Amino acid sequence: MSYFLRILAYILLTIVAVVSLFPLYWLFNTALTPASSTVKLPPDLIPVNATLDNFDAILRASGVAKIPIPGSDEPWRVPRLYLWFVNTAFITLFSTAIHVLFDSMAGYAFAKRKFPGSNVLFVMILAALMIPAQVTLVPLYLLITQWKLVNTFAGVILPGLADVIGIFLLKQYIQTLPTELEEAARIDGASEWLIFTKIILPLTTPALAVTAIFSFQRYWNSFLWPLIVLQSPDLFTLQVGLSFIHTSEFGTNYGLLMAGAALAAIPMIIFFFAFQKYFMQGLRIGAIKG
């Protein structure tokens, strides 16, 4: 491509990228303007009357949780909003860690190992992805009720751990790894687990990072399932708690909606940039040689 065309392409790309950020900009902008039931479009460039009122309102509306401290009469009073952050962080980080581990294990097996039933199982996995969640919601809830997991973190987390989209992603990626490496290691007498952890995993770090990022987003933003399972406000996740605050019988309070969404977005943005460092290039140079 000629130099000129390349410059043009990059200018265009930058414009598209900036435009792509508009919803995010509008989100933070509206979060900082005084709340109302209507929404100002387009937003002022710098929010007029910029205020943290919305965030304050959310903090107060979330109420105060009283956590009993063993060995003391006075319970520990903490604003529920903080508790919601912690709950969501716990559920999300735990689920993400499990997914990175289990999905890479299963992805490796489907990609590199031949075993009876691998095709059938993989087809089943894909088929499950094609069923919309709405039809499995009630059967799943009945299951959770039977196991007495309603209103527990376990009830929220377990069905999510069964999500197979990560397995598909990792299988596709691990497929591209050269098989010679494994075979060489097996000849040297390495155990299967060692091969997996010391050879496959290090080469898969970009895909693991992507899995982590996608999982984090899925669980951090997850709303419908936690809403249905959880009943005690002390156990709510962030999205569930926020939904009570910005909606009312008479409509949505957009300022509070945006403020809540802004609060929820910040950890995801941090997580995303933190995990980008795993996208390094040229990881495989020299791996095959020798």
Partner 1 sequence: MKRLIVLIVVLALAAIWLIACAAPTTAPKSAEPTKAPAQPVTLVFYQRGYTAGGTDAGTVNTDKAVEIFQKNNPNIKINIVGIPWTAEGDTKLEAALAAKTDINVFRVTSPNLPRYAKQGILSEITPFLTEEDKKDFYPSGFQIATIDGKVWAWPLWVTAISNFVNTDILKERGVEPPTMAKPWTWDQFVEACKKLTYKKADGTQVYGFSSSSKWGAVEYYPLMYIDGGRILSADGKKFVQNSPEGASALQKIAELALVHKCTPPDFGTVDQAGVRAQFKDRKTVAILMSTPGFIPDLEKENFPLAVTPPPLGALNKMVTNGAFGLFAVVNVGDQAKLKAAHELAKYLTGSQVAKDIQGWQLAPGLRRSNTGYSTNANREVIAKLVEFGVYEAPVATSAELGNNYGAALQAIILGKKTAKQAMDEIAPDYQKELDALSK
Partner 2 sequence: MSITIAPHPSLVHRIVKFWHKHKWSYFFIAPSMILFFIFVAFPVAQAFVLAFHQVDLRSSSWVGLKNFQDLGSSKLFWSTMQHTLIYAVCVVAAWITSSLVVAALIQPLSNKIQSLYRGAFYLPNVTSIVIIALVWIWIFEPDYGFFNYLLTLIGLPKVLWLQNPDIALWSIVLSTILIVPGSGVVLYSAAMGAIPREYYEASDVEGANGLQKLLHITFPLLKPTTLYLTVIYTIAGFQIFERVYIMTGGGPINSTTTIVQLIFQTAFSDFNYGRASAQALILFAIIATFSFIQFKFLSTDVEY
| Window 188 to 247, contacts with partner 2 (CB under 8 A) | 192-193, 196, 206-207, 209-210, 213-214, 217, 221
Binds 152: which of partner 1, partner 2, none (CB < 5-8 Å by kind): partner 1
> Which of partner 1, partner 2, none does residue 21 bind to, with CB < 5 to 8 Å depending on kind?
partner 2
13 lies in the binding site for partner 2 (CB under 8 A): yes
- Cα separation of 287 and 290, whole Å? 8
Instruction: Determine the interface stretch with partner 2 among 10-18, 44-52, 62-70, 77-85 (rule: CB under 8 A).
Output: 10-18
Phi-psi region of 81 (alpha: psi -120 to 50; beta: other; left: phi over 0): alpha
Applying CB under 8 A, the span of 16-24, 143-151, 180-188, 267-275 interacting with partner 1 comes to: 143-151
Does 48 bind partner 2 (CB under 8 A)? Our answer is no
Max Cα–Cα distance, the chain, nearest Å = 76
Q: Which of 9, 11, 50, 138 binds partner 1 (CB under 8 A)?
A: 138
How many Å apart are CA 136 and CA 140, to the nearest integer? 6
Cis peptide before 202 (omega within 30 of 0): no
C-beta of 65 vs 169, nearer to partner 1: 65
Binding residue for partner 2 (CB under 8 A) from 45, 46, 120, 135? Answer: 135
- Look at residue 217 and give the partner it binds from partner 2, partner 1, none, a contact being a CB closer than 5 to 8 Å depending on partner kind: partner 2
CA within 13 Å, CB half, 57: 22
Q: Which residue has the tokens 């993400």?
A: 96
The token pair at 16 is: 């598209």
- Decide: is 105 part of the binding site for partner 1 (CB under 8 A): no
Spatial CA neighbour of 61 closest among 219, 264, 257: 257
Question: Which single residue is written with the structure tokens 């959770």?
Answer: 144
As given in the structure block, the two tokens for residue 196 are 């997996």
Amino acid at the residue 145? T
Please give the residues from 182 up to 201 whose contact with partner 1 meets the rule CB under 8 A: 197, 201
Q: Is there binding between residue 110 and partner 2 (CB under 8 A)? A: yes
DSSP 110-158: HHH---TTHHHHHHHHHHHHTS-HHHHHHHHHHHHHHTT-TTSHHHHHH
Burial per residue of 114-140, b for 16 or more beta-carbon CB atoms within 10 angstroms, e otherwise:
eeeeeeeebeebeeeeeeeeeeeeeeb
206 in contact with partner 1 (CB under 8 A): no
Q: Which is nearer to partner 2, 78 or 190 (CB)?
A: 190
Choose, by CB under 8 A, the member of 145, 175, 176, 179 that binds partner 1: 145
In the complex, minimum distance from the CB of residue 232 to partner 1, in angstroms, rounded to a whole number: 5
**Which of 111, 164, 169, 235 lies at the binding interface for partner 1 (CB under 8 A)?**
235
State the minimum distance, in angstroms, from the CB of residue 160 to partner 1: 13
- By beta-carbon proximity to partner 2, the closer residue of 85 and 214 is 214
Q: Say if residues 207 and 174 touch (Cβ distance below 8 Å).
A: yes
Contact footprint for partner 1 (CB under 8 A): 36-41, 60-66, 80, 90, 94, 97-98, 101, 137-138, 141-142, 145, 149-154, 157, 197, 201, 223-224, 227-228, 231-235, 241, 243-245, 247-252, 254
